[in-house]
Amino acid sequence: MSARPPLPGAAVAALACPVCGGPLASAADAAVLRCPAGHSFDRARQGHVTLLPPGHRPPSGDSAEMVADRMAFLAAGHYAGVSAALADAVLQGDGAPPEVLLDLGGGTGQHLAAVLALAPGAVGVVLDSSPYAARRAARAHPRAMAVVADTWARLPVRDGAVDRALVVFAPRNGAEIARVLHPAGRLVVVTPAPDHLGELVGPLGLLTVDPDKRARLAASLEPHLVPESTTSRQERLRLDRAAVATLVGMGPHARHLSRDDLATRLGALTEPVGVTVAVHVATYRRAG
Ligand SMILES: C[S@@+](CC[C@H](N)C(=O)[O-])C[C@H]1O[C@@H](n2cnc3c(N)ncnc32)[C@H](O)[C@@H]1O
């Protein structure tokens, strides 16, 4: 493994010590983050840092296999349209361009990297409970860094330090997101629409999207955040069976299907497999 990637200073400046809440700074060799009270957090060789309160065990997050499938599927560009819709929502508006982006449950960091590519003045932080995902996210973009954290717990981020919070197919904690957002900041949430991956549900026995998901999302975020706008994006991919296998493997379905069962079901699909990608992209601002 090569040397740890450098840390973007403005991203480190947005972080808070998970023990005392103080500001964190990077040591000269970028191998450790420290707060003024002396709490220190070593960076892993792969570049990520773990910022969890003492004794806090995070949920396990995505496995190594799921993360490998996510890397492959996103690197092939199949969700480039989702990244583009996310970037549009993150960068829209005629105010000052966002400088600090926080991607909660950001996985491999590939969506964040796509947004950073369009935001030359911005830095980004991926928070994810999966160390396998954080390893990938640590190298996703030169202006991004990766932190292993539990987004259901107090976030290791300073009050009001974030211009845009991003949540793509991941859990969201309304109270904490509102705390870390700058008063003029925005939250952008991407969720699957009811027909997302619809063609695969029956043949592969996938989990279905809860039709009440939008209502549940709104309820979980209010009263901390107020909805501002929503857009929808739909497209149809034409995938070979190998790509469908990675698409299934990277998602929650992977936990419900055995590899053999999936292989049998995949074998029955006719290539190319038409797959609908349908998402809602909702933007929120802080309440009050
Ligand atoms: C469906 S994946 C989405 C990943 C990424 N946003 C994307 O779209 O490529 C959900 C991610 O949330 C992470 N996750 C689940 N529970 C979490 C928690 N409590 N704290 C932080 N991350 C969590 C998982 O490890 C996984 O990387």
Model pLDDT for residues 108-130, shown as the tens digit of each residue: 999 999 999 999 999 999 999 99
Total domains present in the chain: 1
For the record, the structure tokens of 95 come out as 């105010």
Q: What percent of the chain has pLDDT over 70?
A: 99
Mean pLDDT score, 128-133: 98
Domain-located, residue 83: yes
Domain-located, residue 4: no
Output the residue whose Cα is nearest ligand 1's atom 8.
168
Asked whether the predicted pLDDT for residue 18 surpasses 80, the reply is yes
Domain-located, residue 193: yes
Domain-located, residue 19: yes
For residue 59, give the ligand 1 atom closest to its CA. Answer: 19
Domain-located, residue 219: yes
Domain-located, residue 89: yes
Amino acid 124: pLDDT: 98
**CA of 189 relative to ligand 1 center, distance in Å:** 13
Output the residue whose Cα is nearest ligand 1's atom 10.
170
Amino acid 68: pLDDT: 98
Mean pLDDT score, 266-281: 96
| DSSP-based three-state secondary structure for 51 | coil
pLDDT tens sequence across 42-89? 999 999 999 999 899 888 899 999 999 999 999 999 999 999 999 999
| DSSP-based three-state secondary structure for 272 | coil
Domain extent for 132: 9-286
For residue 127, give the nearest of 160, 95, 162 by alpha carbon. Answer: 162
Mean pLDDT score, 231-260: 90
Give the Cα separation of 25 and 225 in Å (integer): 30
**CA of 105 relative to ligand 1 center, distance in Å:** 3
Amino acid 2: pLDDT: 54
Asked if 103 and 125 touch (Cβ cutoff 8 Å), the reply is yes
For the record, the structure tokens of 107 come out as 């996985």
| DSSP-based three-state secondary structure for 157 | strand
Q: Which CATH number belongs to the domain containing residue 122 in this structure? A: 3.40.50.150
Using CB distances shorter than 6 Å, the residues near ligand 1 are: 59, 61-62, 70, 105-107, 111, 127-130, 133, 150-152, 168-171
Amino acid 144: pLDDT: 98
Domain-located, residue 1: no
For residue 241, give the nearest of 259, 263, 260 by alpha carbon. Answer: 263
Amino acid 82: pLDDT: 98
Asked whether the predicted pLDDT for residue 31 surpasses 60, the reply is yes
Output the residue whose Cα is nearest ligand 1's atom 24.
61
Domain-located, residue 2: no
Count of residues for the chain?
A: 288
Long-range pairs for 167-172: beta carbons < 8 A, 24 or more residues apart: 167/103, 167/104, 167/105, 168/82, 168/86, 168/103, 168/105, 168/106, 168/107, 168/111, 169/105, 169/251, 170/104, 170/105, 170/106, 170/107, 171/104, 171/105, 172/104, 172/105, 172/217, 172/220, 172/221
